[in-house]
Amino acid sequence: MKTTKTVFALLMGGLFLLSTTAWVATTKVAPGLTAPRPAPKLQKYLYVVTPGVRNYLGYGGHGIQVFDINNNHKWVKFIKTGGLNKKGKPSNVKGVDVSLATNCIYISTLEALQCIDLVTEKLLWEREYEGGVDRISISPDGRLIYMPSLEKEFWTVVDAKTGDVVKKIVTNSGSHNTIYGPDGNFVYLAGLKSTMLNVADTKTHTVTKQVGPFSADIRPFTINGSQTLVYVNVNGLLGFEIGDLVTGKFLHRVVVEGFNIGEVKRHSCPSHGIALTPDEKEIWLCDGANHRLHVFDNTVMPPVQKTTIQTRDMPGWITFSVDGKYAYPSTGDIIDAKTRKIVTTLEDQNYNSVQSEKMVEIHFVDGKPVAAGDQFGIGQMKQLARN
């Protein structure tokens, strides 16, 4: 009998717990009170725009491949884009940047600039411009775009919301790569037909300074966060050169040791791609001939070569994650910046290799973009005041 009562009591207790749980689950919060909400989750995605290696569709198709940084860079989704040439074929993607002011991602192609809403993922507008469009850069406040013509004589300043032209800046340098300074006061304009880096004042949209000359025409480049130093790739050099952004003087030439220049698939330049780690302690350099990244200690001047990393293909560009944890070469190798190990490689939903020289990190909270990285691997230390 005692055993039967015990079982009955346990059963009744269980029923009471079940009914209580059900009551709690179905009871609404009293008027005037609010139930606690979980903190919004920060989502970090890598937006990889293709075709980002010339017009080769075999490296990811035509559009934006999106990867979840916090989930081992797993493929998330594919976003359709514009960017067709007059024959209806996908055109080479030349650059990518983000404006938080407009909540849009901007993609430049050989002929045009397109603006895509990051929330709706709809193409808002696509406009062709005189001279074509090369690698763009957007102001820190997200309102202006400095847009190089395609290796021609000028840059065009456009309104990020409408795409309307604000001003034209003639440099006669073969306009190519563009970096907007972190404080928004200066834009750095590199032409691949000039040994001089032009510096434009964003208040007047005019060139007010030049840096150099460097030993050959300038290719990809990056700057430190305080805008006192520029690190440039130049034609014919497996290595890089350094200039003083304040005085305009050439400072150093750094050559990769232990490797031959060799032949490269693209760009006709041994080192096409250079980036600073966000803490500016290291420089990572592309080596197209040897399919490698060379790492340099940037805490000494001139920087000293430290190590090398083999990549799965020719690297033609490199940048870093916002937190500095990952290096992102164009090969689609995801490299742990601390251990130098390749932790994964970018693959689409069908396990095909994805590669691109045009990618940018974007952070979202509740589906809205709240932060973005940059495509150039710019240093993030701003402790030094620019004169």
Q: What is the pLDDT of residue 39?
A: 79
What mean pLDDT do residues 245-274 have?
97
Is residue 250 over pLDDT 60? Answer: yes
Q: Which residues pair with 307 in a beta bridge?
A: 295
Is residue 111 included in any domain, yes or no? yes
* One-letter identity of residue 21: T
In a domain, 225, yes or no: yes
Q: How many CB atoms lie within 10 A of CB 371?
A: 14
pLDDT at 2 over 60: no
State pLDDT tens for residues 182-195: 999 999 999 999 99
pLDDT value, residue 40: 85
Give a yes or no: residue 20 inside a domain: no
Q: Look at residue 5 and tell me whether its pLDDT is greater than 50.
A: no
- The CATH number covering residue 297 comes to 2.130.10.10
Domain count, the chain: 1
Direct distance between the N- and C-terminal alpha carbons of the chain, in angstroms, rounded to an integer: 93
Residue 4 lies in a domain: no
> Model confidence at 139, in pLDDT bands (50, 70, 90)?
very high
Residue 295, in any domain of the structure = yes
Residue 3: predicted pLDDT: 39
Q: Is residue 17 part of a domain?
A: no
How high is the pLDDT of residue 10?
Answer: 36
pLDDT for 157 beyond 90: yes
Query: Which pLDDT score, from 0 to 100, does residue 224 have?
Result: 98
What pLDDT does 31 receive? 56
Pick the closest to residue 286 from 354, 245, 333 (CA basis).
Answer: 333
pLDDT class of 87 with cuts at 50, 70, 90 = very high
Tell me what pLDDT residue 37 has: 74
Q: Output the CA angle 72-78-79, nearest 5 degrees.
A: 130
Which of 17-21, 165-169, 182-186, 357-361 comes out lowest in average pLDDT? Answer: 17-21
**Among the listed residues 191, 277, 186, 288, the one whose alpha carbon sits nearest the alpha carbon of residue 232:** 191
**Residue 309: predicted pLDDT:** 98
Q: Would you state the pLDDT for residue 382?
A: 84
Confirm whether 319 is domain-assigned. yes
Which residue range forms the structural domain that includes residue 233? 42-372
**pLDDT of 386:** 52
- 14 has pLDDT over 60: no
pLDDT at residue 7 greater than cutoff 80: no
**Is residue 23 included in any domain, yes or no?**
no
CA angle 199, 202, 208 (to 5 degrees): 35
Q: Which amino acid is at 376?
A: F
Where does the pLDDT of residue 6 fall: very low under 50, low under 70, confident under 90, or very high at 90 and above? very low
